Amino acid sequence: MKRFLPSTMAPAIAVALALAAALPITAFAHKAWLMPSQTVIAGENPWITVDAAVSNDLFYFNHVPLRLDNLAVIAPDGSKVETQNAATGKYRSVFDLELTQPGTYRIGITSHNLTGRWEQDGKPRRWRGTAATFASEVPKDAKNLEVGESISRVETFVTNGSPNDTALKPDGIGLELVPVTHPNDLFAGEQATFRFQIDGKPAAGLDIEIVRGGTRYRNAQDEIKATTDANGEFSVTWPEAGMYWLDASALDDKVSMPQAKQRRLGYVATLEVLPQ
């Protein structure tokens, strides 16, 4: 898939929409998520479909779609597989996936972005792109230039038949979830353990927020909070069955280009907890 290429010439509304949809999620109050039609499935080449959206309430597509430009699906054997019937509408993106292998698939949207802000003729200017496009798209003498870097991941997991771990191997870039408990083996009343890492090293002291779906039908978020230990691990005992949204974010200065001052890291997973 082609990278999303921003244009400073695009109408302000389109830019705002694109920013809200694809920029570091945690920088905004909205929640990004992938919602698979099933997380546990069996048979010969079954299909699933996945919604991708950004919204305040979980899991309803009523704000902006989550763009699929950086969508990647890792198959149970570790290879990258293609999705089908991808479309982006007003409120959500959608795509289908045929599960031709038994085992666990990792579905993720990973955005690695550089953003710039500066003033030109007294007006604010914005830029988004890569280190390669920075030189040609941002003026050398940009006034009050501020450059930021972000890596965000939005993931979910689907298993055809018996779960396996090959697709769960981390890339070692940015903030990543490393399951200790398999993400398709979560049950109400049972404890699950996950590890977070940043650039492949344990992310200690990271704040985790977990919210169960269906927020529209209750008066509180009922969020579960946790903090990772020295190994980057935390545990959660699922209070009830449902789809859960897991979120973590971090800020550091391990930037990939000298103009950037800080790096924002985000991670989101949609996890299904099954009843006993």
Partner 1 sequence: MRVTLTIALSGLLAMPAYAAQFDVDVQIPQLKVAEYHRPYVAVWIEGADSKAVADLAVWYQDKDTKEGHGTKWLPDLRQWWRRSGRTLDLPVDGVTGPTRPAGKHALGFDSTDPRLAKLAPGSYTLVVEAVREVGGRELLKIPFTWPATAPQSGKAQGKTELGAVALAIKP
Binding segment toward partner 1, per CB under 8 A, in 34-42, 55-63, 117-125, 149-157: 34-42
State yes or no: residue 162 binds partner 1 (CB under 8 A): yes
Work out how close the CB of 166 gets to partner 1 at its nearest, in angstroms, rounded to a whole number.
16
Of 17, 174, 29, which Cα lies nearest the Cα of 109?
A: 174
Of 195, 200, 253, 262, which Cα lies nearest the Cα of 229?
A: 195
Work out how close the CB of 158 gets to partner 1 at its nearest, in angstroms, rounded to a whole number.
11
Q: Which amino acid is at 174?
A: G
State yes or no: residue 141 binds partner 1 (CB under 8 A): no
Work out how close the CB of 34 gets to partner 1 at its nearest, in angstroms, rounded to a whole number.
20
State yes or no: residue 42 binds partner 1 (CB under 8 A): yes
State yes or no: residue 46 binds partner 1 (CB under 8 A): yes
Of 188, 163, 97, which Cα lies nearest the Cα of 179?
A: 163
How far is the C-alpha of 30 from the C-alpha of 34, rounded, in Å? 14
Binding segment toward partner 1, per CB under 8 A, in 21-29, 37-45, 63-71, 139-147: 37-45
State yes or no: residue 189 binds partner 1 (CB under 8 A): no
Task: Tell me which of 161, 170, 202, 239 binds partner 1, using CB under 8 A.
Answer: 161
State yes or no: residue 188 binds partner 1 (CB under 8 A): no
Binding segment toward partner 1, per CB under 8 A, in 40-48, 138-146, 219-227, 248-256: 40-48
Binding segment toward partner 1, per CB under 8 A, in 25-33, 39-47, 49-57, 255-263: 39-47
Strand partners, 95: 50
**Strand, helix or coil at 236?**
strand
Instruction: For 150, list phi and psi in degrees, rounded to 5.
Output: -145, 145
Longest dimension (CA), the chain: 63
CB-based contacts of 212: which residues, under 8 Å, 6+ apart? 58, 222, 239, 240, 242, 243, 244, 245
Residues that bind partner 1 (CB under 8 A): 40-44, 46, 159, 161-163, 185, 187, 274-276
